[in-house]
Amino acid sequence: MRKLLFTLIFAVSLVFTTGLNAQCPMCKTALKSNQTNKKGASVGNGINKGILFLLATPYLLVGAAGFAWYNYRRTRRDA
């Protein structure tokens, strides 16, 4: 039951996070201007990558803490 609930929550969070764009008005304006630098990279690409990086960080931290807790509990049970 827990695996089903976890899978459902994970799937729903993926569905809602795939269409993320700029979250604040300043970012939205920067994305709409769509300026390119000397190498041809768009400002919007950098902002979107930054948003995804900030979005992934809490999940990675919680996942690492959960993995550490799981290993601790597993080794404690075996001892």
State the total domains in the chain.
1
φ/ψ of residue 12, rounded to 5: -65, -40
- First-to-last alpha carbon distance for the chain, in angstroms, is 28
Q: CA distances (Å), 47 to each of 21, 41, 66, in order?
A: 9, 11, 30
Distance of CA 29 to CAs 35, 47, 48, 69, Å?
A: 11, 11, 13, 43
Domain, as residue range, for 57: 2-78
| Number of residues written out for the chain | 79
Backbone angles phi, psi at 42, to 5 degrees: -85, 145
Mean pLDDT of the chain: 77
Whether 23 shows a pLDDT value over 80: the answer reads no
- The pLDDT score that the predictor gives to residue 59 is 93
Confidence check: pLDDT of 18 > 60: no
